Amino acid sequence: MLALINPALYNKSLIYNYSFRLPNILLFATNNIDMIHADNVDPKKHLAKMGAWSMEAPKKVLVVDDEDRNLRLMEAMLIPLGYKVYLAANGEAALSGVKDNPPDVILLDIMMPKMDGFEVTRRIKSDEETRFIPIVMVTALKDVEDRVRALEAGADDFLTKPVDKVELRARVRSLLKVKAYNDHMKSYQRQLEQEVAHRTEQLEQAFKRINMASLETIFILSRAAEHKDEDTGSHIRRMANYSAAVARKMGLPDRTVEAILYAAPMHDVGKIGIPDGILLKPARLTYEECEIMKTHTTIGGHILTTSLPGFLQFGKVIAMTHHEKWDGGGYPLGLKGKKIPLAGRIVAIADVFDALTSKRPYKEPFSLEKSYGIISEGRGTHFDPDVVDAFFAIEEEILSIKGRYKDEEESIFLQTVRRSSSAGACPVLP
Ligand SMILES: [Fe+2]
């Protein structure tokens, strides 16, 4: 198919509106005849380059007027300008059209039966989705008061009836620029929000991975510190989770619960400073040896001294106070009652419960009943009564943790070293 188009005769809007008639092969008549072949050049791109084609979809203009004659008149003026024109004969139809197929600009009559232009404007401008659509009030009213009312309702511009074609084109074009800018800004804002959400998600994931790595590092280092004393790493995992569960039950904030979970495994890190002759003694400890053994609390506090806030400082507090007793009979400072930091009071019960219910070289695990009995007896003497109550209130969770972290096989190292049934036993230590 072949066509000859002279832009002097066909303005660009006409070409646009009848774009579906573009031939496969087009001869475009200008001062310089230019031949375009569809296989080589996209005719649309070529026309756009010539300024006779808009690559964008046609802008949508909604005309609202209760008089059919006015609607047709506006339509006849707008279509040649290249706009896609929608018509609405009343306010309700206009609102429905705006919702279903948002236009780029609205030409709105003021004086209409039932819902007038002021009300239509107010409704469109009060909706977050449609408030950026420019509205031109088309009115015969010249009264300043009416114009002020229209502006207050949210109108963006005015056209006076009878509408002048040149003025209409200028107003619509100008408001479309504003609309395009607003659309661009909205799209940019959406992109920014998506980007921020994406980056936040990435940061949260990275933070989680770092936290997991930190926790695992703590477990491994704590296990190394306890390697010669405890036979498995499950003890520190269990008692850390018991401690966090009790802390949560006591209503402590999530961040504190997490800090206790991270810090509790380090409670006995000071044992690294206890001589092997005492730590691994294959017989009951003497009084003097027990006193040295007790210093694992202060050694741990010294090791964990840091100026950084966070769970390491919690670790220091726990290392220093997990052997304090509610009645003041504990060590190293003999603190009493609430003078013992809560984290220390919580870890104390978790540590003792796990020691009672676990196998040790010098004892078989105690039954749950016997262990619960010992904890109950210690309520108000060894342990903070509130912590004991919280512990028993989450018995199911405690047992679930106990089941999740079972003891591993005792290491060959410990099997070799601990030949005596009383090895490492110290009456003041759990
Ligand atoms: Fe300890």
Residue 22 confidence (pLDDT)? 35
- Give residue 295 CA to ligand 1 midpoint distance, Å: 9
- The tokens for 393 are 């209130």
Q: Quick one: angle between helices 254-263 and 311-321, nearest 10?
A: 60
Residue type, 285: L
Residue 251 confidence (pLDDT)? 97
Residue 221 confidence (pLDDT)? 75
Residue type, 191: Q
How many helices (DSSP H) and strands (DSSP E) are in the chain?
A: 18, 8
- The tokens for 224 are 């190394």
- Give residue 391 CA to ligand 1 midpoint distance, Å: 19
Round to whole Å and give the CA distance between 240 and 258: 10
Segments of 140-265 assigned E as strands: 157-160
Domains of the chain: 2-49 (no CATH), 60-184 (3.40.50.2300), 200-217+226-417 (1.10.3210.10)
By the 8 A CB rule, do 111 and 137 touch?
A: no
Burial of 59 (0-12, 13-18, 19+ CB in 10 A): buried
- Give residue 389 CA to ligand 1 midpoint distance, Å: 22
Round to whole Å and give the CA distance between 235 and 47: 78
Report the half-sphere exposure of 325 (CA within 13 A, side-chain side). 15
- Give residue 334 CA to ligand 1 midpoint distance, Å: 15
Residue 29 confidence (pLDDT)? 31
- Give residue 333 CA to ligand 1 midpoint distance, Å: 14
Q: Give every residue of the chain whose pLDDT is below 50, as ranges.
A: 1-41, 43, 47-48, 50-53, 411-424, 428-430
Q: Determine the Cα angle at 171 with ends 128 and 84, to 5°.
A: 70
- Give residue 287 CA to ligand 1 midpoint distance, Å: 17
Residue 55 confidence (pLDDT)? 58
- Give residue 282 CA to ligand 1 midpoint distance, Å: 19
- Give residue 385 CA to ligand 1 midpoint distance, Å: 20
- The tokens for 152 are 């207050």
Residue 417 confidence (pLDDT)? 47
- Give residue 267 CA to ligand 1 midpoint distance, Å: 6
Residue 281 confidence (pLDDT)? 80
Residue 427 confidence (pLDDT)? 52
* Of the candidates 425, 360, 351, the residue with the CA atom closest to the CA atom of residue 387: 351
- Give residue 322 CA to ligand 1 midpoint distance, Å: 7
Segments of 140-176 assigned E as strands: 157-160
Number of CB atoms found within 10 A of residue 381's CB: 12
Round to whole Å and give the CA distance between 157 and 385: 74
- Give residue 199 CA to ligand 1 midpoint distance, Å: 43
User: Would you say the pTM of this structure is higher than 0.85?
Assistant: no
One-character DSSP codes across 91-119:
HHHHHHHHHHS--SEEEEES--SSS-HHH
Residue 351 confidence (pLDDT)? 94
